[in-house]
Structure 1
Amino acid sequence: MGPLSGVRVLELGSFIAGPFAGQLLADYGAEVIKIEPPRTGDPMRRWGITKDGESLWWPAIARNKKSVTVDLRGERGQRLVRDLVSNCDVVLENFRPGTMARWGLSYESLRAVNPGVVVVHVSGFGQTGPSAGHAGFGSVAEAVGGIRYTTGSPDDTPARSGISLGDSLAALFAVIGTLAALAERGRGGEGQEVDVAIYEAVFALMESMLADFHVGGVMRTRSGSVLPGVAPSNVYPTADDAEVVIAANADSVFTRLVEAMGRPELAADPRYATHQARGEAMAELDGLIADWTSTRKSGDLVGLLQEHGVPVGMINTAATILHDAHFAARDMILWRRNGNGTELPMNGIVPKFSRTPGEIDRTGPRLGADTDTVLTTLAGVDDAELATLRADGVI
């Protein structure tokens, strides 16, 4: 009974950007019906690290969803989807622009059967503009949107994060757009289109990059583990070969840090007394702090700095997160069994709701697990037609 209980979403598409948005909506209680190609399904079923032939990501990215197999490339399958749309609040798709229209599933055709439907498009470059028709995976959108140029070491080529950042950002904006459109529909009763471009989702995070260059004459670029002029805020070593991030660039926080270090005089030292001075002396200051942190074990160091009110955190890995008491206390590691019976941990639900918390009722379903039920209850298909559709490969 999450906050989106009663909202029905038809998810079309594959891989990450669209399906991750569908996962989040399902986390919040929406009924998410995932349409997959018969026989093959979403490639995410076999993507990444696998066990017993199933992706270890699939149980999470498809959790709480219903799987319905429909061949979208044929007229009969397209008619089934239009029939389903008449009973849905949201259609979420991440095909290349123009694909839905070629299949007779344009916004206009869907609106004709359901004027209140919200159609959410997720694509590399958006539904309009000179690049709209180009293929665009999240990695390319990260480059175009500007984040790759600012990621990594200044002495190396642009780096990427070890996750599908662009796709995930687009999914977040898709959820935001969906919720905003549903809120507006609640006032007027009419749906609309929501156009999410992955490169724009990336670009939205780029802060004052354009103004810094155009007005300030500064090209923001790769700076490794620091931000130029912001110190101390870096990664520091510990005596037990771990690493911690300490962020003490504000005057008051820096004072608390040097008190924890047993060097309170540094707060009044002209070389470090102001934000600007610390930025100019970044390398020297980071050296002083690293010399100190490297003499202490990570747990003791984190505890000491927390006692002094200094923002600090471990550089966590999967191994350390699995044993982190705070993650566990906030239900951020959820243990569930996949379709093969393997118990596995998955990321918890974000954010937390005080009255209508989300829940994981099921992990990613087997292909077509809900085809018959959904098509009979929402598209008016009887048993005889189901048999014919299955025999003809439509479902």
Structure 2
Amino acid sequence: MTPSPQPLGGLRIVEGASFVAGPSAGLALAQLGADVIRVDPPGGGSDFLRWPLSSTGDSLFWAGLNKGKRSVTIDHRTEQGRELLLALATAPGRGAGIFLDNMVGRHRLTYDELRARREDVIHVHLQGRSDGSPAVDYTINAEVGVPQMTGPQGVEQPVNHVLPAWDLLSGMVVASGILAALLHREREGQGAQLELALADVALAGVGNMGWLAEAEMRGGPRVRQGNHMYGSFGVDFETSDGRRLMVVALTEGQWRALRDVTETGAVFAALEQALGADLSQEGDRYRLRETIAAVLRPWFAQRDFGTVRELLERAKVLWSPYLDMAEAARAARADETSVAAEMDQPGIGPLLATGRPLRWAGTGAPPVPAPRLGEHTEGVLSDLLGLTSEEIGRLQDAGVVRVSGDGSQQSRRPSSPELPPGAPRQRGLPARA
């Protein structure tokens, strides 16, 4: 098997972030070869035990978003821990000096503190709102109008989403921002202070799709329309054996394929003539969506799912079956081209996980297990900061760090590491006891 490309090899990012946006950015960079060092407080951060949980009580959420990273535990709220984190974030090296965080409160590291240690540091700070006030995906989504557009017709209350879309999108903006800052540093020799607010990402998202302008121009919000796709034709149908599927006709060719396989061309030609419509135009297909769906619905209702699937595939209609998450997992396991594969996650065991979705020269990358909490604390502190085993032991005794060299979550005294010859000792490290 051809080795997976590691285009970001040699890049090191210190990640002091929890939940989805920051960790998903670190994950995307790690899957391209970057060395991402996630820093949590001893005992884990606020997302360390976030649901869903495995049968062992470990977080599948945490394991999924931290695949392929290194884990270090530091209590940055202490003076010694703060110095350790500053030293890690500003360590020398062409691909180092990058710090990503969503920390809040008086204990968070600031750009000025980081820049005082390394002039060309790159600092990306994630926050809820640009003024620093708190917000999360589910509160932001409420205020950009999406829940009022979601759900069946005739429902008055908002319908919340399940997918944290703005978090995931923010993570990708952060990843692209880090790479842009690196290119800027290579060209100009300058660092960068980057700030990203979840609220800004969400507002930009709906704005970029024209939804804000649409609401102002029409003098009110878009009405709910259930499972109908806005602006074109797309809706769900039920087969004779109770299976549901989504059918979409965005292009003229897709509309023609759907019309031909259902043998409804004559019906729609008559409708076009009677209503003065041109169903080769997606705007007219959207305007007449209810009529089109009513014409097509009996064709699906008279056939079982297997027959419908075979006919739609042969006709190259754009469609997909509705699957629940368990069915989606089974489908992913059965698909040899899927980015999902089984991996052995320490503390949990075999589980279905996903690798890098970006295929480089046709090659993906399999999932790499997430670390155990604090698994790399000793190695990182010794290799990157030059601490001795005795110094690390004293830091652990003081509760500043937690070392978990055996992969467990239990504290233990570290064994003596082998230090590289001439390992550099950074300024700003805790004073020796």
- What TM-score comes out, normalization by structure 2 length? 0.82
Q: What fraction of aligned residue pairs are identical, expressed as a percent? A: 27
Partners of 2:12 and 2:98 within 8 A in 1: yes
Question: Does 1:225 pair with 2:227?
Answer: yes
Specify the alignment match of 1:336 in structure 2. 343
- Quick one: structure 1 residues 195 and 148, their matched pair in 2 at CA, closer, same or farther if it must change by over 3 Å? farther
Sort the Cα spacing of 1:303 and 1:157 in 2 relative to 1 into closer, same or farther, 3 A. same
The aligned counterpart of 1:93 is: 101
Q: CA deviation at 1:139?
A: 0.7
Letter in 2 for 1:391: D
Matched, 1:213 2:229: no
Closer/same/farther in 2, CA of residues 214 and 161 from structure 1, 3 Å limit: closer
Give the structure 2 partner of residue 314 of structure 1. Answer: 321
Answer whether contact 2:30 2:69 (CA < 8 A) is retained: yes
> Aligned residue for 2:117?
113
1:389 aligns with 2:389: no
- Residue equivalent to 1:49: 52
Provide the residue aligned with 2:416 in structure 1. none
CA distance in 1, matches of 2:204, 2:227: 22
Paired position in structure 2 for 1:371: 377
Q: C-alpha separation between the residues in 2 aligned to 1:351 and 1:150?
A: 31
Shift in alpha-carbon separation, 1:190–1:146, aligned structure 2, 3 A: farther
State the one-letter code of the partner of 1:241. G
Is 1:161 aligned to residue 167 of structure 2? no
Q: Would the alpha carbon gap of residues 320 and 218 (structure 1) be closer, same or farther in structure 2, given more than 3 Å must change?
A: same
Alpha carbons 1:35, 1:69 under 8 Å: kept: yes
Equivalent residue letter for 2:159: A
Matching residue's letter, 2:400: V
Task: Tell me the residue number matched to 2:297.
Answer: 290
Deviation at 1:189, TM superposition (A): 2.4
Q: Relative to structure 1, is the Cα distance of residues 242 and 156 closer, same or farther in structure 2, using a 3 angstrom cutoff?
A: farther
Aligned partners of 1:163, 1:228: CA distance in 2, in Å? 19
Question: Could you say if the C-alpha distance between residues 104 and 200 of structure 1 is closer, same or farther in structure 2, counting changes exceeding 3 Å?
Answer: closer
Q: Distance in 2 between matches of 1:133 and 1:308?
A: 53
**Is the 1:11–1:92 Cα contact (8 Å) retained in structure 2?**
yes
Residue 290 of structure 1 and its aligned partner are, at CA, apart by 1.8
Q: Distance in 1 between matches of 2:173 and 2:253?
A: 35
Secondary structure at the residue paired with 1:111?
helix
Q: Deviations over 1:120-178 (max 9, x none)?
A: 1111113xxxxx23221211111233333322234232222222223222212211222
Q: How many pairs were matched up? A: 383
Larger-Rg structure: 2
Give the equivalent residue in structure 1 for 2:138: 139
1:175 matched to 2:210? The reply is no
Structure 1 match to 2:262:
261
| CA distance in structure 2 between the partners assigned to 1:168 and 1:74 by the alignment | 31
Q: Does structure 1 conserve the Cα–Cα contact (< 8 Å) formed by 2:333 and 2:340? A: no
Shift of 1:72: 1.0
- The code of the aligned residue for 2:151 comes to G
Per the alignment, residue 412 of structure 2 pairs with none
2:107 maps to 103
Moved over 6 A (4+): none
Report the RMSD for the aligned CA atoms in angstroms: 2.3
Q: CA deviation at 1:4?
A: 1.4
Report the CA distance between 1:357 and its aligned residue: 4.5
Name the stretch that deviates more: 301-310 or 21-30. Answer: 301-310
Residue in structure 1 matched with residue 127 of structure 2 by the alignment: 123
Q: Structure 1 residues 7, 164: closer, same or farther in 2, change over 3 A?
A: same
Do the aligned partners of residues 227 and 313 (structure 1) sit closer, same or farther apart at CA in structure 2, a change above 3 Å counting? Answer: closer
Gapped runs of 5+ residues in structure 1?
A: 127-131
- Over 3 Å counting, the alpha-carbon distance change for 1:300 and 1:322 in structure 2 is farther
Q: Indicate the SS of the match to 2:19.
A: coil
CA contact (8 A) 1:63 1:364 kept: yes
Instruction: Tell me the distance in 2 between the aligned counterparts of 1:248 and 1:104.
Output: 50
Give the Cα–Cα distance (whole angstroms) in 2 for the partners of residues 222 and 184 of structure 1.
44
TM-score, length-normalised on structure 1?
Answer: 0.89
Which ranges in structure 2 are unaligned for 5 or more consecutive residues?
402-433
Query: Could you tell me how far 1:273 is from its partner in structure 2?
Result: 3.4
